[in-house]
């Protein structure tokens, strides 16, 4: 009989998400059963079944996706750049090994090729087992899975993609480099003419200095760069942001050009509203235009 799984972040039946990235606060979820624990080549991987929120994927102690609300994040980071692009055909996802963003990309009939590049093979492998509703896109014939370094992949694929979506974890550990200027320069060089990107842009309640840095940097690289956000209860402070940019100086990223079928959160009205920020956050984003 195998021993019952344990994990240091689960104490007395509760998972605790404690991190210096959100000082003085912590998300807790009640655990029904620990499903998977491993140390991959890159990070600590935990999956547990919660009592009220479905299965939960945790990397290096930080919640990546929760079955109950994951669709908010996946739909918005994907459809903000895709629905505002006139004809996205070739799409790249960096990170996002759980498959959620990939699932959303495939909702666009114009997409003929969707490539996902994740550095850690453990994430898609584990997600296929415990988050099959998110990982179902891997079975689509349009999909290519590449396990390896996103930097190297971008360096070898220039001027190729209509949309590139970076579904990264927080800027610590293996994902830290995905928030730096050299990475965004590579993104720009890997876009086809008129291409767009979106990246995970952290939380307006917690990370305003980082958001200012991201917006200042991207506005120096792209003719159009915007910040949007969505509501998602199980992410720190209940919101997560997106940096959305395009090479097309005439494109209105706030304007969806078509409906997307099968969404639970995204619609054309929410798309437009996502770029309307609270005043304290808008002032930071506006200040980046002056830097």
- What are the catalytic residues? 167
> Residues of 79-106 as b/e, b for ≥16 C-beta within 10 angstroms?
bbbbbbbeebebbbbbbbbbbbbbbbbb
Structure tokens at 15: 């998972």
Q: How far apart are CA 120 and CA 145, in angstroms?
A: 11
Q: How are strands ordered across the β-sheet holding 113-118?
A: 143-147, 113-118, 90-95, 161-167, 191-200, 239-246, 224-231
Structure tokens at 256: 């969806």
Which of 36, 41, 44, 35 lies closest to 17 in space, CA to CA? 44
CA distances from 2 to 5, 165 (A): 9, 40
Strands 55-59 and 44-50 come out as: antiparallel
In contact, 202 and 210? CB cutoff 8 Å = yes
Q: Residue 12, class by beta-carbon neighbours within 10 Å (0-12 exposed, 13-18 middle, 19+ buried)?
A: exposed
Structure tokens at 97: 């090994």
In contact, 22 and 236? CB cutoff 8 Å = yes
Q: How far apart are CA 51 and CA 198, in angstroms?
A: 33
């Amino acid at each position: 009989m195998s021993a019952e799984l344990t994990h240091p972040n689960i104490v007395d039946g509760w998972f605790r998400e404690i991190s210096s990235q959100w000082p003085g606060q912590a998300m807790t979820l009640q655990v029904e059963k620990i499903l998977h624990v491993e140390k991959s080549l890159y990070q600590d991987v935990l999956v547990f079944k919660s009592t009220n929120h479905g299965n939960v994927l945790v990397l290096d102690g930080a919640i990546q996706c929760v079955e109950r609300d994951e669709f908010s994040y996946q739909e918005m980071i994907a459809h903000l750049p895709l629905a505002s692009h006139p004809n996205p055909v070739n799409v790249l996802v960096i990170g996002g090994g759980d498959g959620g963003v990939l699932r959303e990309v495939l909702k666009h009939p114009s997409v003929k090729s969707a490539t996902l590049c994740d550095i850690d093979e453990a994430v898609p492998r584990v997600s296929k087992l415990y988050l099959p509703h998110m990982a179902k896109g891997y079975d689509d014939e349009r999909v290519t899975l590449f396990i390896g370094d996103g930097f190297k992949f971008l360096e070898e694929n220039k001027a190729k993609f209509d949309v590139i979506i970076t579904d990264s974890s927080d800027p610590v550990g293996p994902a830290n480099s995905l928030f730096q200027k050299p990475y965004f320069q590579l993104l720009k060089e890997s876009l086809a003419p008129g291409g767009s990107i979106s990246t995970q842009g952290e939380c307006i309640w917690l990370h305003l200095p980082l958001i200012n840095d991201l917006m200042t940097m991207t506005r120096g690289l792209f003719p159009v760069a915007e910040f949007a956000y969505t509501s998602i209860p199980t992410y720190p402070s209940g919101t997560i942001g997106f940096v959305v940019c395009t090479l097309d100086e005439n494109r209105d990223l706030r304007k969806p050009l078509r409906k997307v079928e099968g969404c639970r959160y995204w619609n054309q009205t929410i798309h437009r509203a996502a770029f309307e920020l609270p005043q304290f956050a808008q002032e930071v984003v506006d200040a980046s235009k002056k830097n």
